[in-house]
Structure 1
Amino acid sequence: MIRVLLTDDHPVVRFGLRTILEAQEDLTVVGECGSGEEAIELATSLTPDVVLMDLKMPGMDGATATAEIITRTPSRVVVLTTFDTDGDILRAIEAGATAYLLKDAPSDELVEAVRAAARGETVLASPVATKLVSAVQRPGLSAREAEVLGFVARGLSNIAISHELNVSEATVKSHLLHVFAKLDVNDRTAAVTVALRRGWLPQLP
């Protein structure tokens, strides 16, 4: 029996996931929670085979929680999210996630991903795999630097970015200084312009 922990801040989503998984004879849900902090606590105490992890939640985000769970337990983490940006994907994979699926994935795909993850196999949704290959092959900015610059491109201030990423404002400034150095620019606007021109950031709508 594959034991699964559900982590999502929406109770309705958790209910749907539980219904799908427990309809399978070889899967059982041993716990559920709505935050990264709770996920770490429950994963440590329950040691499930697989943790289904949302990325964007109040407090600690899913990627940070994933890294902690991978460090503390033998559990595998399957990211299930609506987000498929390069930064989100790379952070989750770098944190140690075994699989990365989007929430619009068919239920049978989700079930098979949980089974594969329990076996230690990597599973990536097709659009996610394409983005990941592209991001890994792209030179220049690190995943976090690109993520910070992406927020800059959307008009967020340093303090707003720090809140989005749950890091200090000083850390955001440090990432931006590295970005400026790599792009040979002196300000935020120039950094975004050059990064877009080089294809290191997605074109903004």
Structure 2
Amino acid sequence: MAQLYFRYGTMNSGKSIDVLKVAHNYEEQGKKVLLFTPVVNNRDGVGKVASRIGMQKEGIVVDEQMDMVQLAAAEKPNCILVDEAQFLSKQQVLQLAEIVDALNIPVIAYGLRADFVGDLFEGSYHLMALADKIEEIKTVCWFCDKKATMNMRCKDGIPVFEGEQIQIGGNESYIPVCRKCYSVKRKQSRQQ
């Protein structure tokens, strides 16, 4: 029985390399995979699923007009993988659930749980609500040895705590931190 998985982690926790690894494992066995990436994910170019360690693969761009259910029904893949799933809309997450339930195709969605101020993204919110299995991909805090649970946005190396929810970026813009270090840096920024 197919299931909807949501695998979440902070920035730099290895989500995209895991997507690429899973895609490779299916394809090496001669199985078909559809790899989706939201149109807003343009860090390495629209349609690219790329890891910070240099591996990348072309993905299928998901925008508001795409009917993922129809595409999955026509293509009949063994698995669907989604990178940067936090950027999906509620309707797109509902489509993923329909693919699992109606077409019996497993879907593994990878993304951030929360943004740089600790608020859930729309896609993450609905994946948390609908996923059959929720799994954390862990990494270590930039400042200490605790598990990172927050994404700290930085500008010129200085933490920032205001701005638009979506700002595409990599190591130059975000670092993984634990809640304690996040709180300390936030308090320090208020005192300046």
Q: TM-score range by the shorter chain?
A: 0.3 to 0.5
Higher relative contact order (CA 8 A, sep 6+): 2
Judging by fraction of residues, say which structure has more strand: 2
Provide TM-score, normalisation by structure 2: 0.38
Judging by fraction of residues, say which structure has more helix: 1
